[in-house]
Structure formats: structure tokens, C-alpha cells
Amino acid sequence: MASSETWTRWRYRYIPDKFVGEILSKSWIDTLIPVMILAGVVTVFSIAMPGFLAASSLSDIARIYGEYLIIIVGITVVMMAGGIDLTVGSTFALCNLVALLVINSMEVNLALGIPAVMLVGGLVGLINGVLIGYLGMRAFLTTLVMLILIRAVVDQGLLDYGQVIARGFNASATWEFMAIGDVFGVPSSLVVAVVIAIVGHIVLTRMRFGWHVSAVGGSRRSAYNAGIRVKRTICATYVLSGLLTGLAATFYAARMSSASADVGKGLEVTMLTAAVLGGISLGGGRGSITKAVIGAMIVLLVQNSLIRMGLSSGTSSLVLGLLLLAAVAVDVRWVKNRHKVLARAYVSPTYFRLPPLPETAAGSDSDYALNDKLRGVEAIGLGELDGPEDVIFDQNDNLYCGSRHGDVIRFFAPDHKRWEVFAHIGGHPLGFAFDREGNLHTCVGGMGLFRISPAGEVTKLSDETNRSLLSIVDDSRLRLADDLDIAPDGKVYFSEATVRYEMYDWMVDALEGRGNGRIICYDPKTNSSRTMLPDLQLPNGICVEKGGQSLLFAETWGCRITRWYFDGPNKGRKEIVVDNLPGYPDNINRASDGSYWCALCGMRAPVFDLALRMPDFRRRMVRKVGRDDWLYPNMNTGCVIKFDADGNILDVLWDLGGEAHPMITSIREHKGWLYLGGIYNNRVGKYRIPGADPNWTSLDDYWGERA
């Protein structure tokens, strides 16, 4: 091995490139951009103003921040539902006026006064909500008009009551506390704001109303079709925004006692800037309270710093306006291009070297020499099936296979011509196994492990396993459960092909050459699953050996078959049975003579073997070339091999020309015949095995003959 290749091998073993893409694919990555902006803002202003981070100025900002935060929680909810609330500026002014009048001048008790002020805000929100939610008016125009209308009401109110307010003063201790009080140094408004933010976060992420809001914002029509009361949800968001604006205005009134005409002017733009800067999408459906929290912080720091730097009139608005423009631009571009960036950064190739490719030429003395044994095999369900990945038989010789439409299909014995949908699961069934009681177990891609009773009832057994400590992707969820087998004690061992890709992308996993898959054990006694063997190269076929203490598993991209003892004296031992296969192994099943069948779903090619030793090359390919032009492993032709427990190759069955069975993913021996499945095929093949036991069935081999 060349020294540069050694270097490559070590470099890819110890530098975890895959984490970059995995971090980028996290949903909280959207929050990282505003966090970086915030860090930038803090750095710039700390350098520009020495006293910027002094405690005294921070506590001052924190008090205003509390008010901002209360408002922006409401705005976030509105924007998450796909709306916009420009009325806040005027609502704030109105509520401030009412608060000053009711609490400051008339000295109404705060317990009555504050809810009254909030109700005024809620009422404005209700008008918006009815107009936008129920009458279907455009949010932007409606709230803009309401902004102007309410401002007129405020102006009239100021004229009528301005003088009364200017003389009023409420001396109550609570009012004083709202104005200048703090709890352990945290200003009163911020304490309330934090509580509201936490509640808001829980509601948005964990509760029905929040999910409805996200659903409505994501797609109104789908939300409606799903039975969500769209109109009511939209209306409620505006009412909420109004109520919270009212609360914030109360704090402002306590702090400033100001009935100026400019109260709340431009607040709508400030809040909008904060929300968009935080990464709350204008299109709806995307956002979080955390983002709002950060966005408000950025805007307030910028605003306050510009004031304190003494820039001339209007500069502050100018800077804020530019920020909003920039944020909107970033929002639009990011939402549009995020998945593209991610797709390129996510694929993380690593170094993998296979031994030299074994000979397969016809007439050579290789174990794998080409022949034409599968030519002209019989077909079952030709043209009626779509993707029978695996095939299995019950004790009455009925044939079961899966379909891409999410069904389990049953062909009736003896001729397997008539069929019915035995059960509908909703995902593509990949592996099958019967347990002792005759329940059919299946691994469903994208869904998990399921059990189907003889009557056709579907039960989900497992869709999660334990979360690994250091994994960045959430590997507790089952993405691609692939094949399974059942041990004598009833435990189900199943493979998950990869934790990094969804079912429709499984082939991309080959480009990485890393062990992304694992073998998981489902224990029916505890009804839970645990990962047994992690970091396997697309683990696929699983077959429990006759002794009941070990199983064979195939690693598709590793081109090898391994034995693993899960019980008995050798428990935990792993040994390679067949290494350096000429193709990519898929399902493994028992044969009547005590040996094993294995399907090779594709054959290795020297070019791809070489590419696996060149991770940089594959990385460049992924970044620079369109997806359709990527170099993938060959899946156009395959074969079936038969091997014994020591790994000797006993037989090989080819379909030259690949007309009937270009890609074989599974094989099942039943009463002297070998049945062939293919994940992209339109039939199940039926091959007469010369000299095989015509009475042998897999079911009996596992669970013994039944009466």
C-alpha cells in the first residue's frame, strides 16, 4: 500500500468529517445563524464602546428587553401560522394609554387593571383575527390598516386624556415594582417575559395548539384537510399577540409613564426585524421561541448601542431598516437553498479498501464462474407485483411478499396465481420471518419492526432503539429496518441498513464506505429494542443458525458474511465466514441441506472498488457533479450463492443477460424450489433446485413439524 494511501486511511479514520453534515442537518441549525450575528454584534459594540457590557447598562437594556420579549412571543406565534402583525405598534400605544389612564390616573387596582389593559390589546387582536382568519383578508394589508386606525384612536385619546395622564401618579408598590423592581437583579419585566417565553416554547413545540399553528403556517390546505380548524387557529394567534402586546405595554407604562405621541411608533418594524433576524420565516411554519429570543436581543443591542454612540438623527432607523432587508434576503435565500447546501455537505466519504476482486469469468475454475442456471425460471405474479424484496411461506404453502405500495401480498397455494392484500402497513416491507405461533414479522423501511397475526392484524413492535451517547444524528429512530430473523427464545434480531440515510437514499450510503448500519435486538418480553452491533457496512441479510446461538449477517457494502454468537459459550464472538465476495450480499436464508443461500443484489466493479480507496475523489464528485451522474455501485446484475457454515462456496446461480432477475435481493427455499425476490422487480422467480428435499420447508426447519 502506498504511503499516501496509508495517510488517507488514517486521516479518514480519525477526522470525523461526517459530523459537519450531521450538524448542518439538525433543525436547530437555523438558530445558529442568528447566534453568530448576535456574537458579531456583541463583539463589534464591545470594541466600539468600552462600557458596553457594564452591569449597569445591561440591567437597563434587560428591562426593555423584557418588554420586547413579551411582544415578540406573540408575533412569533402569528408568523409561525403564516401571518404577520403590523398592528403591534399602535396596539402598544393604545394599551399604554389605557394603562396610564386606568392604572396611573384612575388608580384602579393592578389585579383588575392589567387584565383590562390586556383585554384591550386582545380586542384589537380579535378584530385582526376575525378579518384575517374568518373573512380571509390579507394579513399584511389588514394589520397595516389597523395600525393606522388604532393610531388615530390613540391620537384622539391623547388629545382628550393627555393632560389627565400627565398629572396622574399611582404610588402603589406593585406598580413601582413593575417599573423599577427586580428579582435577584433580574428586572421585573424580564422575569415575566422569561416565564412567558418558556410557556410559549412548550406550547409551540409540545402542545396541540402549537402544532396546529405550525401546521397552518406550513401548509394551510394540508392543515385544513387534516381536520385542523384553520380559521380559529389563525384568529387565536392574533388575539394572543394582542394580549401579550397589552401586557408589555403595561410594563412600559409603569416604567415610562409617558403618553407621548411617539410611543410604539416603529415598534412593528423593530419587532418584524427581530423576528426575521432570529430566523422566523416570513412564509410561516418555520421558527421557534429561541429564535425570537435571539432576534430580539440582536435588535435591542443594535438599537441601544446606536443611541449610546450618539449617531445623528435617523441613523438608527436606517441601520435597522438595512438589517431587516439583509435578514429578509438571508431568510429567502436560506430557505430556498438550505437543502441543496445540505445535500452536498451531508455525504461524507471515507476510506475503504476491498481485497482484489475474485474471478467470475465463465469457464474459469472460480467458485463464482458465470453460468446460466436462472435462465427461464418460472415467474409468479408477473407484472402484478412491485418490489417483492423478500418472500416467505406459511404452513399451508401460501406465499407472502411485500410491495412498494405498503402492502403484504398473499398468493394462495398450490399454484400461487390468485392473490390478495393480506395486510396493509403503509411502508415497503423488506424482510420477513415467521415466529413459533405463526405470526408474520416484517421489517418495514422507514417505519420499523411490525408483526402481523394470521388474521391479518398489524402490530407495531418497535420503531426505536437506544440512543448512542455520542451520535449527532438521532439514532434512536429506526430509519431503514431491513431484514430480520427470530431466535428460538423469541428474540427478534434485525438489521438496520444505515442511520444516516432515509430509505429512498439508501444507495447514497454506498458512497461513504463507512459502517453506518447496525444490528438491533427486539425483546418481546420487555417490548423494547437495543442496538447489539453498531458500525456495520449496510448490514442486510440475517439468518439465525440451526444451533440457535449464533446468526449470520451480510454486510452489503463490506462484501462479507459474518457469524456472531448472541448466546451460549461463545457469546459475543464475531468471525468472518465468507470474505471478499464478488458482489454485494443481501438476504441470507437456510437451505434444505443445512447450508445457506445468499442473494447478491449487485456485482462489484473495479472502478467503484478503486473509488472506495479515494474518499477525496468521491467528495469532489458529490460536490461538483449532479446527483444523476454520481458513480454508484452496480446494481444491474446479480446472482445467488450457496455456502456452508465454514464459508465454502457450494453453488452459484446466474441469470446471464439479466432479463428476468437483474437484481436479486432475496431467496427462499420451499419444498424443492428456490423462490427469488427483487426490490426493484415485478415478479417472484421460481427455480427448481436439482436434488433438493421436496418436503423441506423453512418453517419446519425453524419451529419443528406441526400437527
Partner 1 sequence: MPAMKLLKAMAAAAVLTAATGAAVSEPYDDGQSKTYYETVKGKKVAFVPLSMGFDLTEGWNAGLQNQARALGYTVEVRDPNWNVEAGVQAANGFIADKPDVLILHPLDQQAYNRVVPRALAAGINVIQINMKSVTNGDAFVGADWYDLGVKQAEAVVAACGKDSGKNGKIAIVTGQAATPTIVIGNMAFDDVFGQHPEIQIVARQSADFDPAKAQAITSTILKQNPDLCGIVGVWDGQDSGTAAAIREANMQDQVFFVSSGGGSKAAACDNIENGSFDAYVSYDVPGQARDLNAALKILLQTKPEPGSNPFALYTPLKVLTKDNLTPSSCWKLEELKAMGG
The answer to whether 372 and 400 have CB atoms below 8 angstroms apart is: no
**Cα(389)–Cα(378) distance, integer angstroms:** 17
Q: For partner 1, which residue of 84, 88, 165, 639 counts as binding (CB under 8 A)?
A: 165
282 binds partner 1 (CB under 8 A): no
What is the rounded distance in angstroms from the CA atom of residue 670 to the CA atom of residue 592? 8
256 binds partner 1 (CB under 8 A): yes
Applying CB under 8 A, the span of 137-145, 305-313, 379-387, 473-481 interacting with partner 1 comes to 305-313
Closest C-alpha to 292, from 307, 302, 280, 305: 280
* Phi/psi at 584 (5° precision): -100, 110
Please report whether residue 308 would count as binding partner 1 according to CB under 8 A.
yes
Nearer to partner 1, 314 or 572 (CB): 314
Strand order in the sheet with 528-536: 481-486, 492-496, 517-523, 528-536
For partner 1, which is the closer residue by CB, 262 or 628?
262
**Contact status, residue 97 vs residue 158, Cβ threshold 8 Å:** yes
Q: Minimum Å distance from CB 263 to partner 1?
A: 7
Give the integer Cα–Cα distance in Å for 586 and 608: 18
Q: What is the CA radius of gyration of the chain?
A: 33
Q: Does position 44 bind partner 1 by CB under 8 A?
A: no
Cβ 93 to partner 1 shortest distance, Å: 11
Question: Rule CB under 8 A: which of 511-530 touch partner 1?
Answer: none
Q: Tell me if 492 contacts partner 1 by CB under 8 A.
A: no
Q: Does 159 contact partner 1 by CB under 8 A?
A: yes
- In Å, what is the CA distance from 557 to each residue of 271, 288, 493, 609? 52, 40, 20, 10
Per CB under 8 A, the list member of 9, 231, 232, 265 interacting with partner 1 is 265
**259 forms part of the interface with partner 1 (CB under 8 A):** yes
Among 1, 3, 47, 51, binds partner 1 (CB under 8 A): 51
Pattern 196-235, binding to partner 1, x per CB under 8 A?
A: ----------------------------------------
- Considering the complex, state which of residue 300 and residue 598 has its C-beta at the smaller distance from partner 1: 300
The verdict on 64 binding partner 1 (CB under 8 A) reads yes
How many Cβ atoms are within 10 Å of 571's Cβ, its own excluded?
11
> Positive or negative CA dihedral for 274, 280, 284, 287?
negative
DSSP conformation class of 636:
S
Euclidean distance between CA atoms 142 and 70, whole angstroms: 23
Beta carbons within 8 Å of 211's beta carbon, 6+ residues apart: none
* Residue with Cβ nearer partner 1 (4 or 312): 312
How many Cα neighbours within 13 Å face the side chain of 322? 7
Chosen residue from 87, 143, 188, 316 binding partner 1 by CB under 8 A: 316
Shortest distance (Å) from residue 98 CB to partner 1: 15
Give the residue among 274, 228, 370 at the shortest CA–CA distance from 65.
Answer: 274
158 binds partner 1 (CB under 8 A): yes
The C-alpha atoms of residue 379 and residue 357 are separated, in whole angstroms, by: 32
Within 10 angstroms of residue 262's Cβ, the number of other Cβ atoms is: 8
Record the cell numbers describing residue 615, joined without a space.
474518499
Per CB under 8 A, does 250 bind partner 1? Answer: no
Q: How far is the CB of 151 from partner 1 (least distance, A)?
A: 11
Contact residue for partner 1 among 43, 46, 109, 163 (CB under 8 A)? 163
- Binding status of residue 298 toward partner 1 by CB under 8 A: no
Q: How far is the CB of 161 from partner 1 (least distance, A)?
A: 8
**Contact (Cβ atoms closer than 8 angstroms) between residue 511 and residue 630:** yes
The dihedral sign for the CA sequence 313, 314, 320, 325? negative
Under the criterion CB under 8 A, does residue 307 sit at the interface with partner 1? yes
**Binding residues with partner 1: total (CB under 8 A):** 39
Minimum distance of partner 1 from residue 257's CB (angstroms) = 4
Q: How far is the CB of 296 from partner 1 (least distance, A)?
A: 15
260 binds partner 1, rule: CB under 8 A: yes
Q: How far is the CB of 248 from partner 1 (least distance, A)?
A: 12
Q: Which of 258, 366, 371, 471 binds partner 1 (CB under 8 A)?
A: 258
CA atoms within 13 A on the CB side of 390: 28
Shortest reach from residue 77's CB to partner 1, in Å = 24
Peptide bond before 414: cis, by omega within 30 degrees of 0? yes
Binding mask 116-155 for partner 1 (x = CB under 8 A): ---------------------------------------x
Smallest distance from the beta carbon of 256 to partner 1, in angstroms? Answer: 5
Give me the helices (H) in 2-87, please. Answer: 3-14, 18-24, 29-48, 55-80
Beta-bridge partners for 518: 496
* Residue 17 or 67 having the CB closest to partner 1: 67
- Residues written for the chain: 707
Q: How far is the CB of 250 from partner 1 (least distance, A)?
A: 15
Whole-angstrom distance between the N-terminal and C-terminal Cα of the chain? 60
Which residues lie across from 445 on neighbouring strands?
480
Q: Which of 42, 130, 149, 261 binds partner 1 (CB under 8 A)?
A: 261
Contact 664, 640 (CB under 8 A): yes
Q: Which of 321, 292, 322, 316 shows the shortest CA–CA distance to 304? A: 316
Least distance CB 130 / partner 1 (angstroms): 31
Q: Shortest gap between Cβ of 179 and partner 1 (angstroms)?
A: 7
Question: Which among 403, 395, 525 is positioned nearest to 461, based on CA atoms?
Answer: 525
Q: Which of 227, 310, 356, 606 contacts partner 1 by CB under 8 A? A: 310
| Of positions 3, 4, 27, 312, contacts partner 1 by CB under 8 A | 312
Q: Name the minimum Å distance from CB 252 to partner 1.
A: 8
- Bridge partners of 554, per DSSP, are 561
* Segment interacting with partner 1 (CB under 8 A) among 188-196, 214-222, 309-317, 328-336: 309-317
The residue ranges that bind partner 1 (CB under 8 A) are 51, 54, 56-57, 60, 64, 155, 158-159, 161-163, 165-167, 179-180, 255-263, 265, 303-304, 307-314, 316-317
